[in-house]
Amino acid sequence: MITVIDYGMGNLRSVVKAVEKYTGDVRVSQDPASIASSAALVLPGDGAFKMAMEHLNSMGWTGPLKEYIRGGGVFMGICLGFQLLFSRSEEFGESEGLDIIPGDVVKFRTPGLKVPHMGWNNVALRQESPYLDGVDSGSYFYFIHTYYPEVRDPAWVIGEAEYGVTFPCIVGKGNVIATQFHPEKSHHVGLKIIENFVRKACS
């Protein structure tokens, strides 16, 4: 069972529909106890980092989620779910994240660029990952975000994009994969990442 975590941050339907292209064994859950019967977890989300962490904390997800990821569970983070993996964010004042990946989430400050960064951008792959099988370096994905991570451990960085600065937009290690862009909205190349994730979860 692939569990899509519903913590009150964003419309989950497009993510669920993308996963359903490759398996019917998917559910949406607000209950952290569902981790025990999950082959994989997906943490999507749109909105503010601080509010997201407040929701995860109040719903009881934070501790079990960190334990699951650090224990080697199959995990995908998307957009806000990507950012929450980092140590902290400066959005609306400093907030602590899940601290799976050492680094800080900061705002784009390059003069002359529109913020949020919204639309299609190409991604340069920096290392191989089974979740990226069939995805070429330079492929385009759909982004919408105002903040990006400054990663302190480059071993986590799988792909980078450029928008005034070069920033990590795919991170992962072991069974973890997370993307700043929306793979479920990035046509066939984004769906390929989701397909690879589902195959990993079901293997």
Query: Where in the sequence numbering do the catalytic residues fall?
Result: 79, 182, 184
DSSP label of 71: T
The owner of tokens 């997906």 is 42
Q: What are phi and psi of 90, to 5 degrees?
A: -95, 5
Inter-axis angle of helices 187-202 and 13-20, to 10 degrees? Answer: 70
Inter-axis angle of helices 49-58 and 62-70, to 10 degrees? Answer: 100
- 3-class secondary structure, 154: helix
Q: Where do runs of H (alpha helix) occur along 10-98?
A: 13-20, 49-58, 62-70, 80-83
Taking the C-alpha atoms of residue 99 and residue 71, their distance in angstroms, rounded to an integer, is 14
Q: How distant is the alpha carbon of residue 29 from its chain centre?
A: 17
